[in-house]
Each structure stands twice: as structure tokens, then as C-alpha cells.
Structure 1
């Protein structure tokens, strides 16, 4: 294959003895030389059992060294890596396997009950001694890999959430993943000194591509862990000397509300990064109070997922901003009138660049709807200020139109999150015979604190126009989340869709 596409071999040549991967819970470590050898061993094995260019190789596992083994083996062979979301149901996983028809499915033994084994051609367990013997064997010679691989050939299929229908398989090419890595390194000034902690599930683009792959590309260290627990996460950050970490707002919420947070220090960290969902402003405040650099990012499976950069020093004064487009991609905001939105106006976020996905697997209609004239239509709404700093205001499908007025749930959520008794809040629409839609909110409260519906509405009136104030406010002990830690508004809408209006 082309030398620049097998960049792990090149990195292993430059930094053979540098630590590449650490499994946080077990403390097991692999150097770049060992990581490359594992991938070569696995690629050799896969070739010996008939895997060829274009074949899909699926993996169902919690965060594990196997993600890197299979990703890099597929990169060398021209096969296509398909990480599976283990938080889906057995039926949903079966749908994905039927859609992508993998030649092999690898599984962690703790998750094999999610597979219909008898329907699989070949499968094996990655936490078995057999798997370790394949990846760890000592070899002086490897089968020569002569597959011709092009920039736009598929390297991975990552299935998107599926909250509005069946999951769609976003096809990421060698180019898509390489340019996301290069763009992130250059725009964010990453170096071989950087260390990250990956708690986000690696079946998700945030776990695999946001920081793990860019930091391996530049020669830094990636610590992987599962089963997020705030105190353990903080311990790993300090123990491994982490410098930049990406977590979702739910994880940050758990950290800043833990007793230990007020006393802990982070001597090696230069940036805490939030992604996956809009970050509540109280989290910014908690980090600023401790003098810690905190910022927000934006991404999606189909583009990167990295697209913007903001200096943490600037983020302090522009809370909620995702910043400006990175060096090697373009951004455009398309207004509702079909014209490009001006500063202060809301428009749909469009992205263009070599990091954008190629197409949806087996779904040409969805591809045509998403990719138009070289631009990816994200379905996210955003605005920018006069200086070019961008702000996400919500999903296009989540925008509420009540009596002809456009209402963005995120604005209402930011307001309600500022109330001292509010723990979390989700704002969404409910149908209404007169207004078309009305604003509704589900709120969870902080422990031992209380507030009434009327008190919350009065609080909102101090900050929001009357048409933006939720007509219905419901309380729940815990707000439901999706498999990547985002608030699950779809389930809330279904639960309350028949509420009396």
C-alpha cells in the first residue's frame, strides 16, 4: 500500500520505544513498535483466512487494545473496520450486521450475548489466549501486503445513532481519517508530548477519531478506559500525566458535582474539552473558578469529528462558542431563505473538507440528502458573531416553531441551567392544536434542593421572552441519556406527547 496511508509503520519507525497505548484499569502498556507489530500480526492472520480489500471486519467490545489492532490491521489490508455499539439491543446490532455483512466479527466475551452467533460466518473473542497469541507472537517476517489502496477507499464504517430511524453507516475513507488527524494536530497545536484519556466509547467517532487517532499520529500517548467513574477518571488523568482530555457534558457534570473536585489539582492538563452535546454554562463556571482551561468543541461522525478551534483563554469570555473553523476545512451557514446567513443570523451549518465522509453504506438517498455540491449539510443550526466565532444553537429538527416564532431549545436550557436548584434540563417541543408546537421541559433537581414549576417560570421570565418560556415543566429524578451520554429528547417527547395542553 502507499507509504503515507500506513502511517503507523512510519510512526513506529520514528518512535519505536515511545509509549503509544495504556489500558487504564489494568495498567498494560504498548509502545509504537509493539502496536505496529500487533497490527501486522493480525493483518497477516486475517490474510491467511482469506480477508481481502473491501471486506468488513466488525468489532463488539468495550474500550480495549483490540480497537487499535483491528483499525490498523484494516488500514494495512484495505479492509473496512466496523466498530459496533454495544449499548444497542440485540435486534439493532443484528440490523447493522445484516447491513454491512462482515466477513468476521470479533467480540469481547462479556458482550457475546448481544450476537446471534449462528448467523455469523466467523467470529472470535478478543480477550482470549488465542487472540493474544495471534497479536503478540514474535515474527521476523510478515506476509507482504501488496494491496493497492487509494485515498478515498473506505477504512471504517461508523453507524450513527439511529434516534430518528435505522442507523446509517457513515463510510470514512483513509483520507477522511488521516485529514481529520492532520487538521486537529495543526489547528490545536498537538505534539508528541500530549497525553489523552479516552473514556468515550471507541465505537463512537468521539472515542476513536476526536483525539485517539490524532495523538497517535503525532506520537503522543493514549490512555483507554471504560466504566466512567469521576474519581477514577481524575486519578488516571493525574497518574498518566494527561494534557488534553475530551469528555461529554454528562461526565463533566459528574466531576464538578463530586466532593473531591474542589480540592483536586491537574498539574499536567492544558485543556479540558467538552463535546458530543452543548455544554451547560455552569460547567464552564466550575472550571473557571479553579483556573482550569476549558472549552467546547463541535463534531459529527460524518465530518472528522473535529471542525473548529477556540483558545481556552478566549472561551472564558465567549462561553458556548465552538470557535472558528480549523485550518483545513470550510464552514458556511445557510439561512432559511437559501442565502448565506450574516453575523447574528441563524443558519444550517455546512462543512467542506477532505475529512468529510464519503457516503452512507447502502443508502444512496441519505447520501444525496447530506452531500450537496461538495458540502455536508449537518442538520445543526448555528450562528456566528462579527469576529467569526461560531455558536451552535440546536438541531434543525429540534427547533420549535410556536405561533410562527422560532425557539431554540439550547437557549432555554442555558437559562434554566443557571437556576441554583437545577441539576439537568431538557427542552423540547410538544404538539399543540392552536400554536402548532409549545415549549416543554423536563428538569432534574440537585440533591436536597427544591423549586416549584411556578418558581422556575418566574425565573425564566427574567431572562427570556414570554413565548420561549416552557408551558409545561415536568420533574424527573434522572433525565434519560443516549448511548453516548447525550440527553435523550426523543424518549422524552414520546413519554409526554399525550400530555393535556
Structure 2
């Protein structure tokens, strides 16, 4: 990629979203920082992006370089997104929940040209950069502070110095020279949950990000006047691709906060007249259980979606009782993540489904040989769309497993390929898809395939159960049986649960073991960490 004078090349719109949107709707509110009660227009964001681009370039960031960010949701992270787009650089947001060794491994894998860190996580980053797992030279360091935090950076890693982002940010917000960027060039590295080994960095391109925005806008019916509180962190695909970037394309409004609590979400919906809301099931459940649930006005909301795992029937019912149709979405960092939509006027009995494929999405269910299965049969879900990525960073083996050996050759000869999701699904006669669980989580008991989500849904209806995960454990007679790991009341017994499930589940599906715990371990944005549960409770005791 080469740098040209601004305006001297074709396809200048690639990487120029903030500039284009600022031209179309300069005074419309783009971003609200709820923690400081500050609003930013699209003109503001483009000026900030230009200032940030100058800062990144001054610190040595060039086209193709990675800028790693460890921060909660702050306006400066949005600035970095737009600025890296202008420069042809890659933004690599990393989870602030990772341990220093994990951060060291990921930073060593990414090899960033610049590292931006929010003050509360400076100690962890210093330890990560000093760790044996980090083998590169320490990049320039920028520290984010703000009026809502009194954290200090302290000493930097050996041989390095913290520079406060706000103090070194140029004041010039005029247009900058931009890189010659193609739709196929990378713009985001977003890491997977990393349930086994080092989390994989999914390489998202300018094109795949834009196509997901188009799919979301068209298939979900987003509007320019939509407003949403962003409940996903910016180190997660949900933070960018579920609603933030689609709404930035439209000229909508996104509300961010450092720490999201149920009461906070409810107040944000009411205060700002939020029209759309997407969240993980856990947060939607916490909102329903919050003391302010009944008193909060939710009439501004047009639709509510759940993603990141199955949403329990009781939670869907609670939202329905407030006059809102809560539907379930499905996606993954490697593809989308917004792949399905519920058709207008869908029958209520389809609520358990994830809907039908979006406008520019193909989906199919296949067996282990890759043969497409007929309706109602369970197999692996595969997706194809221009919003799919085609590789992981520095991981050819995982790339081949998910995207095919080369992702260049197929029966059409034009480079299209199916993305293997690793999820089990079925499709009904009306074209609605249903997720049956992770392929690796299915187990066989007495020769019968058992899919944990269906069992979990039934158990979750018990009044003593707040949340549940069912895992397989060894059994001499049946090979494997289910063990219910429950967050709920300690008085729950296995006999009580078995009686409750009588007539609801076949005998081979009912758990043979039960353990009640205080709280579920989580990974990512409040997602239950099934791998951690299996590691801790995966025996027959």
C-alpha cells in the first residue's frame, strides 16, 4: 500500500467512514459517553480521528502496522478505530480481563507498532511486557486516563516510558493524508474466546466489516434514528459489528460506558430513548431480575435481541410480558456476526429459533463428510457470506480447519468458501434454523446423541435454578451421562430435579449428577465459560 495526497486515488471511501458520515450528517449525535455525559457528533468524531491519525503516524504507525489497545469502552478507542482505517493500519483490541502471561502471548503474536492502555490496566501490561513470553522490542506506549478514573500509570516496563494519550494528541483535526486501501486489506484483529490454548486472532478486512454492516442494516431493518446502549466490550466482535459500525454507517447513535450493570442499562434505555438493544442472555436476565425492571419505561425499544448463547424461555417470556418481542441471534467472530434475522410477523412458536439467513448470507447443515442434510436432521452449521473472514493471524492449521485448506478454490471457481462454525444445528421445513449446541459438546449416552442446550432449557424452568450448564461425565453403564452444574438454591436435589423433568425429557437426557455452585465462571462479555466448568466439574462425583 502506498500513501497518496488526499483525494488523488479511486475508491477513497475505503477506510473513510468517519469522513463520509461527517459529510452527510455532521451535526447528528454519533457517540455518547454516558460516564462523562458527553455527546460527540459525526463531525466531532472525524476531527478526533484525524488528530489520532496524526498521533499514530508521529509514533511510527504505518500502513499494515498493528495498534494494540487494552481498554474498556472509551471514545478514544473509537478514535483509534477510525484513525487506523485512514492510515491502513490494523486495530487489535485485547481483553483487559486477561492475565499478564496471556497478554504477553497475544502481544508477542500480534507484534504491535504501538500499544494504547487504559490506566487501570497499566500494571498488568507492564507485567506482560516484562514476561518471558513476550520476545519483541517494547513498542511505544500511550496511556488513557479520564476524569472518571484516578489511576496512575506508575513506572513503565524496563527501557520504556508511558506517554499520556491526551497530552500528546495533536490539536490539528483537519483532513490527513490517507493510505491506498483495498477492501481486502485487514482492519481489525478480534480474538476468539480461547477456550483451549492461545486465543486466535480473526483477521477482519475493510470489506468483511462493511458487508456485515450492510447485512445488519437491511436484514434487521435498522434506521438512521436508532439509538443503542453498547453492552459488548470493544475487544469483542459484538462491540464493533453487532450494532456500532452498522449504526455508524447509517448515522445512528451509540451509547458507551466503562462498566455496564443492569440498572445502568435500564437507565440508559429510558434516559436516551434507546430503540434497539442487543445483549448476551446473562445481562438480559440480570435486567429482568433488577429492582428497577418494572418501573423502567421501555416503550422506546423497537426490538431486543439475545446473542452469545441460548436465551432461556423464562427470560424471553419476561420481555414478552413488557410488550417486547425478544428474539435470538447467532454469529461468530469468523463470520458476521449478524447472520440471521427473524422475518416480519414470524409465528410465536419460532422464537426458539435464530431465524432465517440474512439477505447476503447462505447457510446449510452438513454431516461429517460435508454432505448437506435434509430438514430436521442435526449436523454442523456452515455459513457463506461476503462478510466472512478467510483466515486467522499466524495460524495456518486453524485457518484450514475453519475456512478450508486454501479458501481460494471451490466448485464455483471464484474463491467462495463455506465457514465451518463448529456448531450443531437443524433447519425446519419453513427455513428457520435452530442451534443444538457446540459440536464438541454433544455427547453419546447409551447410543443416543444428547444435545445439552435442550436439557438446559428444561432445567432452567425449575424455580430453584438461575442458570445451568449440562456437561458429559464418564459412566460405566452408559458410556457418558449428563451432569447438571446449577447456579441457584443450594436446597435443590437430584431427585427433585428428576421429578421436575419427568414428562419433559426422555430418560437418557436427564442428568445423573448434580452440583450447585455460587456463580458461573465467565469468559468474554458475560458469556458462561463451559470449558472452565468442564475442567472443574467434569467427573462423576
Partner of 1:277: 309
Q: Which residue of 2 aligns with 1:471?
A: 512
1:371 aligns with 2:403: yes
> Is the CA contact 1:321–1:389 (under 8 Å) kept in the aligned structure 2?
yes
Q: Secondary structure at the match of 1:495?
A: helix
Question: How much does 1:130 deviate?
Answer: 4.6
Matches of 1:186 and 1:134 in 2, distance apart?
41
- Checking the alignment, whether the CA contact within 8 Å between 2:471 and 2:538 is kept in structure 1 is no
Query: d(CA) in 2 for partners of 1:136 and 1:206?
Result: 30
Q: Give the Å deviation of 1:134.
A: 5.2
Aligned twin of 2:365: 333
Structure 1 residues 256-335: aligned runs within 5 Å: 256-311=288-343, 313-314=345-346, 316-335=348-367
Contact 1:333 1:341 in 2 (8 A): yes
Say how many residue pairs are matched.
496
2:165 maps to 1:131: yes
Partner of 1:425: 468
The within-5 A match list for 1:220-235 is: 220-235=252-267
2:34 to 24, 32, 53: 24
What does residue 6 of structure 2 align with?
Answer: none
Structure 2 counterpart SS, 1:200: coil
1:425 to 1:313, Cα distance in 2 relative to 1, 3 A: farther
Q: Which residue of structure 2 lines up, in the alignment, with residue 362 of structure 1?
A: 394
Q: In the aligned structure 1, how far is the partner of 2:473 from the partner of 2:347?
A: 34
Q: 1:454 aligns with which of 495, 498, 517?
A: 495
The TM-score normalised by the length of structure 1 is 0.95
The structure-2 alpha-carbon separation of the partners of 1:498 and 1:366, relative to structure 1 and needing over 3 Å to count, comes to same
Q: Which moved more, 1:31-40 or 1:113-122?
A: 113-122
Please, what TM-score do these two structures have when normalized by structure 2? Answer: 0.88
5+ residue gaps, structure 1: none
Which structure 2 residues correspond to residues 59-138 of structure 1 after superposition, within 5 A?
A: 59-116=69-126, 117=129, 120-127=138-145, 130-133=164-167, 135=169, 137-138=171-172
Report the CA distance between 1:260 and its aligned residue. Answer: 2.4
Residue 36 (structure 1) aligned with residue 66 (structure 2) = no
Structure 2 SS opposite 1:442: strand
Q: Is the 8 A contact 1:70 1:81 kept in 2?
A: yes
Show CA shifts across 1:432-468 (max 9, x none). Answer: 344332211111225xx84321010121222111110
SS of the residue corresponding to residue 317 of structure 1 reads helix
> How far apart in 2 are the matches of 1:94 and 1:283?
39
Deviation digits for residues 388-436 of structure 1 (CA, Å, limit 9, x no counterpart): 0111110001111122211000000011111122111111111334433
Tell me how far 1:157 sits from its aligned partner.
0.6
Alpha-carbon distance change, 135 to 342 in structure 1, aligned in 2, over 3 angstroms: farther
Q: In 2 relative to 1, CA 395–312 (structure 1 residues): closer, same or farther, beyond 3 Å?
A: farther
Q: What is the CA distance between 1:320 and its match in structure 2?
A: 1.7
1:126: Cα distance to partner? 2.2
Q: CA RMSD in A?
A: 1.8
Show the counterpart of 2:188. Answer: 156
**Secondary structure at 1:259 match in 2:** coil
Instruction: Give the match's secondary structure for 1:206.
Output: helix
* 1:295–1:312 Cα contact (<8 Å) kept: no
